[in-house]
Amino acid sequence: MRHRRALELPLEESPAAPAPQQVPPSRPAGSFRPVGRADAATPAPAELWLAAHLGMASSQPAQRDLERLVVGAQRLTPRVSLEPPDGLLLEVKGSLHLFGGVEGLSREMAGECSRLRMPCTLAAAPTPLAALALARAARKMTVPASLLAITDPAQLVGKLSPLPLATLRWPQDTLDRLARIGVRTIGEALRLPRAGFARRFGTAQLQTLDRLVGRASDLKQRFEVRARFRRRHELIYELESHAALLAVLEPLLAELGEFLTARQCGVLALECRLRHRAVPPTRCVLRLAAPLADPVQLAALLGERLSALVLPEPVRACELRSGALVSRVLASGGLWQAGEHGGGAAARAPELIERLRARLGPEAVHGLRVVEDHRPEGAWKIREPVFTTSAIQSGSRNEELFDRRPLWLLPVPRLLNERDGLPRRRGPLQLLGEAERIETGWWDGKEIARDYYTAVDIRGARLWVFREREPPHRWFLHGVFG
Amino acid sequence: MLWSFEQTLRSGACDIALAWVRSALPRQIRRLHLAAEQGGTLGVLFRPGEAARDSSPAALRVAVEPAAPGTRVTLLKSRGGARGAIELPLR
């Protein structure tokens, strides 16, 4: 069905394009065919749109509230678009069976609206515009909260016909002119000749009608929730106690958790700013080892961080900012308990790392990575901890070379004494085997030219020493074998 | 340092945890021992050679020192009371 529509698209739109003379002859200049009859072969509509018409009697809902509602609605379907100033559209065909049909779904949606204290009317129809028009009409006519639903495309035109044209939100001028020729409902407008309609009332309006009855596809831009979370809470009194602060932050964290769940994301970094009267705000940054969305865990970690924080002044406002969102794959719970048959260990690692980081700071915990570099100093790097089983993987690891590297590398090579051109450390060092020459790095300014030896000191400890190739040919200790 | 080690042992997130410390009191080692049992983690605490003289509540104590061709491993304390030393030559 969707394919068919896409194919028909250019044909469908051509009459709406510049000149009305281009109406294809195959279409009788009469009027709109009910779309359902043409599609009789495919009984089920490809899409079903649920429209929510919001709005208090006096004022329009704020953009902020609308966005919050969208976040809630995205729990029901990913295809949610905003129809400013007071509409919301959800494509629910795919989620009908998950929420118990149109009734169940609209109950959920009504619940979301009432949670935000936004009165709404809901309507469902195969095209987005029809759903919106129905919802608006239901509001105007103060139909009781019963749902208006057109699930059968064949009934679409028939059910839309009695609705007033005002529900399409055309310019008042157009509506007035239509009213003067006695056209007040959608059905009457649909019966007008297309060419004349386009000439007198504009192609835009004709396109609206096409989209309304599903003759032209209506592409809705999916609403993307902002990729970062930021909420601020002003306190009505100043706070000094850490426990009280955490209590204030908890609703913010709960909101963050909801925000993240809707996007199936987690945060890796969370910043909490505590504003004071005179001094600059105190910042408390939480870095997480794995994407996290659970407000309870977040609160526990933030509490750990906060308790280590010294507040210069009482806090007047707190603000929560998330770092970039990371998509979080929700894994199934394991069959084994942790510690049983190796179960759960990997799941606990992030928790451990977060606890250590919360107490010791983010720099204190890191992972290791092997880098392809001949310079021993450059052959490894620290990185964020990861929890794959092959955390330190090195594709082309040279086993033989690996054996010739010490386990312990000194942060900086230590200068050794020498006598007769041979190094000494608590006595003479005995050099074993051949030298390994490492001479590289001329391209990035950290050039080295060294001959490495394995040496044994008088106590039998094996050391990794090198001699500079350049004069003055000094000896250095660079590592200790285990 | 010891706090991190204890947390790691207790969490059960790792199969084995290694730590190098300059000094540790018997009381602290006892805590580590309990944490390792709770988390089911093998914990190895590396201490300087002088510490071999002090008593320790650890389950197994091993002294490792360089010997002429390789490494000498001496069993200082073990369950069952076996004692002895072996020398591991280097390859």
Q: How confident is the model at residue A298 (pLDDT cuts 50, 70, 90)?
A: confident
Q: How far B10 CA sits from the closest chain A CA (Å)?
A: 9
Structure confidence at residue A159 (pLDDT): 81
Structure confidence at residue A401 (pLDDT): 61
Q: How confident is the model at residue A406 (pLDDT cuts 50, 70, 90)?
A: confident
Structure confidence at residue A1 (pLDDT): 41
| Average pLDDT of chain A to the nearest whole number | 75
pLDDT exceeds 60 at position A4: no
Q: Which residues pair with A449 in a beta bridge?
A: A439
Most confident of A6-10, A106-110, A152-156, A396-400: A106-110
Structure confidence at residue A35 (pLDDT): 41
Q: How far B82 CA sits from the closest chain A CA (Å)?
A: 25
Residue with the bigger pLDDT between A24 and A368: it is A368
Structure confidence at residue A265 (pLDDT): 81
* A296-308: average pLDDT: 82
Q: How far B22 CA sits from the closest chain A CA (Å)?
A: 17
Model pLDDT for residues A308-361, shown as the tens digit of each residue: 788 888 888 888 888 777 777 665 555 555 444 444 455 567 777 777 777 777
- Say if the Cβ atoms of B11 and A348 lie within 8 Å: yes
**What ipTM was reported for this prediction?**
0.75
Model pLDDT for residues A366-393, shown as the tens digit of each residue: 777 777 777 777 777 777 766 544 444 4
Residue with the bigger pLDDT between B1 and A98: it is A98
Model pLDDT for residues A81-117, shown as the tens digit of each residue: 888 777 888 888 888 888 888 888 888 888 888 888 8
Structure confidence at residue A30 (pLDDT): 40
Q: How confident is the model at residue A203 (pLDDT cuts 50, 70, 90)?
A: confident
Closest by Cβ to B68, choosing from A346, A356, A460:
A460
Instruction: Return the number of CB contacts < 8 Å for A and B.
Output: 41
- Cβ contacts of A364 on chain B, cutoff 8 Å: 4
Structure confidence at residue A403 (pLDDT): 65
- Say if the Cβ atoms of B90 and A345 lie within 8 Å: no
Model pLDDT for residues A438-470, shown as the tens digit of each residue: 888 777 777 888 888 888 888 778 888 888 888
Q: Is B48 on the interface with A (CB under 8 A)?
A: no
- pTM (2 decimals)? 0.42
Lowest-confidence range among A67-76, A291-300, A344-353?
A344-353
* B18-43: average pLDDT: 86
Query: Do the beta carbons of residue A315 and residue A239 sit within 8 Å?
Result: yes
Q: Is B26 on the interface with A (CB under 8 A)?
A: no
Model pLDDT for residues A33-45, shown as the tens digit of each residue: 444 333 434 444 5
